[in-house]
């Protein structure tokens, strides 16, 4: 065990969420002294501000970018075999459905990518070409509601008991002796800098924490807490917030994570940009954050997750459904708010 790990101190900001809790877990598993690890969050694990604090999340292998296959296969193995996680993976299978010319073309392309991945996925992935085939896999569906649908069935997919899995990490960290700061003592205010080097953080109640490395894993709050220089799609940066009842995801333009050292602040590491598909990586993403901290992150991952300027276009969403204005949705009751300011 490397002496540097025993003596090194690390602060994880946003440690009550998916990437943050996984990072703290892998710091402990990698041999860092638990009492030298400080997890900060406004709320206890699982943080109520974390998108991962949910009843369930979908598990399945989909190839959104070049490194997704490697990470997904690694995560699948840990969900199946790791004692901390395996009880939270329910291997019920996964069904991805589509209809219409564009939707079916995209689904077929995704299916072919799985077959061409050279990872054995052709053995567990099936194209369902009719309503009858879909209903055999999911008899609870209403035939009248799936006219013209086709689907991809993934035998090795399923659902994850999300909040319970994060809570299990929290219990492990507490039992291991990791330090925590919650409430005002856990709410990030600003980094503490000395000649361009991050030496710790200050929280909103004035508490100062010092460490050799700081990891910002604050999810959708990341571009609010620090200037990410248009790394994320942030159409609403200058807009007034009038209410909040949504699950915010930190989308990057290419759906790849943003995990790198801040370009101006040494020892301040960003671990964000989940783009709505990172919870499945809960068991293993923290391992790669630790590699980043230690300078051993694989070149392909470092390249995919590098600091890369560019906002993308929020109205040209990479998600399957078209982008919509909230004021056009049923139930909108805020006509007094000028639409252009949303």
Q: What are the residue ranges of helices labelled H in the chain?
A: 3-7, 18-29, 68-81, 101-115, 131-137, 162-176, 222-225, 285-294, 299-304
Mean pLDDT along residues 152-169: 96
Write down the pTM of the prediction.
0.84
Question: What is residue 184's DSSP assignment?
Answer: G
How far is Cα of residue 161 from the mean position of the Cα atoms in its chain? 15
Over the stretch 19-57, which tens digit does the pLDDT of each residue have?
Answer: 999 999 999 999 999 999 999 999 888 776 777 778 889
DSSP for 221-234 reads GHHHHS--TT-B--
Structure tokens at 109: 């392309």
Give CA–CA dist 63/277, Å, rounded. Answer: 11
* Sequential DSSP letters for 143-178: GGG-TT-EEEEETT-EEE-HHHHHHHHHHHHHHHT-
Residues 6+ apart with CB under 8 A from 318: 251, 253, 255
> Which CATH class, in words, describes the domain spanning 3-59+71-87+161-328?
alpha beta
Read off the tokens for 76: 């699948």
pLDDT at residue 186 above 70? yes
Tokens of 226: 């620090």
276: left (phi over 0), alpha (psi -120 to 50) or beta: left
Query: Which DSSP string do the residues of 306-333 spell out, in sequence order?
Result: S-------TTS-SSSSPP--GGGSTT--
Instruction: Determine the pLDDT at residue 338.
Output: 42
Select from 261, 194, 294 the least CA-distant residue to 202.
194
**Encoding tokens for residue 268?**
């301040």
Q: Radius of gyration of the chain from Cα atoms?
A: 21
Q: Is the Cα dihedral 339, 48, 290, 84 positive or negative? A: negative
pLDDT at 312: 54
User: Chain-wide mean pLDDT for the chain?
Assistant: 85
**pLDDT at residue 313 is higher than 60:** no
State how far the Cα of 211 lies from the Cα of 8, in Å rounded to an integer.
8
Query: Which of 83-92, 180-189, 238-247 is predicted most confidently?
Result: 83-92
Q: What is the dihedral of CA 6, 11, 17, 19, to 10 degrees?
A: -60
* In the chain, domain spans: 3-59+71-87+161-328, 94-155
Of the two residues 263 and 333, the one the predictor is more confident about is: 263
Average the pLDDT over 223-239 and give the result. 50
Q: Which residue has the higher pLDDT, 296 or 317?
A: 296
Residue 303: band (very low, low, confident or very high) from pLDDT cuts 50, 70, 90: very high
Which residues, 6+ apart, have CB-to-CB distance to 339 below 8 Å? 325, 327
Tokens representing residue 160 in the block: 């994850």
Distance CA 198, CA 184 (A): 21
What is the rounded CA–CA span in Å between residue 212 and residue 32? 12
- Tokens 């009719």 locate to 130
Does the pLDDT at position 236 exceed 50? no
Residue identified by tokens 């139930």 is 331
> What's the pLDDT tens digit per position in 120-144?
999 999 999 999 999 999 999 999 9
Averaged pLDDT for residues 302-310: 84
Alpha carbon separation from 193 to 30, 188, 196 (Å, rounded):
27, 14, 6
Number of C-alpha atoms within 13 angstroms, CB side, residue 215?
35
Pairing mode, strands 10-13 and 213-216: parallel
Query: What pLDDT does 322 receive?
Result: 62
């Amino acid at each position: 065990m490397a002496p540097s790990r025993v003596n090194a101190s690390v602060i994880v900001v946003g440690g009550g969420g998916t990437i943050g809790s996984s990072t703290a877990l892998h710091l402990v598993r990698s041999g860092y002294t638990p009492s030298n690890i400080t997890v900060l969050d406004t709320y206890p694990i699982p943080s109520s501000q974390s998108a991962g604090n949910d009843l369930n999340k979908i598990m399945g292998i989909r190839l959104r970018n070049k490194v997704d296959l490697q990470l997904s296969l690694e995560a699948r193995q840990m969900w199946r075999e790791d004692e901390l996680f395996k009880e939270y993976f329910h291997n019920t299978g996964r069904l991805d459905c589509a209809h219409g010319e564009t939707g079916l073309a995209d689904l077929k392309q995704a299916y072919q990518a799985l077959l061409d991945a050279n990872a054995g996925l052709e053995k567990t992935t099936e194209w369902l070409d009719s309503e009858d085939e879909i209903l055999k896999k999911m008899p609870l569906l209403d035939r009248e509601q799936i006219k013209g649908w086709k689907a991809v069935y993934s035998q090795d997919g399923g659902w994850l008991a999300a909040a319970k899995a994060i809570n299990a990490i929290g219990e492990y960290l507490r039992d291991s002796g990791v330090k925590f700061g919650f409430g005002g003592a856990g709410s990030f205010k600003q980094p503490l800098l000395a000649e361009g080097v991050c030496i710790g953080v200050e929280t909103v109640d004035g508490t100062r924490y010092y460490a050799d490395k700081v990891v910002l894993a604050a999810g959708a709050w990341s571009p609010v807490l620090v200037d990410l220089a248009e790394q994320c799609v942030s159409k609403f940066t200058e807009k007034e917030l009038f209410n909040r009842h949504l699950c915010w995801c930190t989308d990057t333009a290419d759906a790849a994570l943003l995990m790198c050292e801040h370009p101006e602040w040494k020892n301040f590491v960003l671990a964000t940009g989940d783009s709505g598909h990172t919870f499945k990586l809960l068991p293993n993403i923290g391992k790669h954050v630790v590699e980043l901290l230690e300078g051993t992150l694989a070149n392909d991952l470092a390249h995919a997750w590098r600091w890369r300027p560019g906002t993308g276009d929020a109205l040209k969403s990479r998600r399957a459904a078209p982008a919509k204005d909230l004021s056009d949705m049923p139930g909108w009751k805020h006509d007094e708010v000028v639409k252009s300011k949303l």
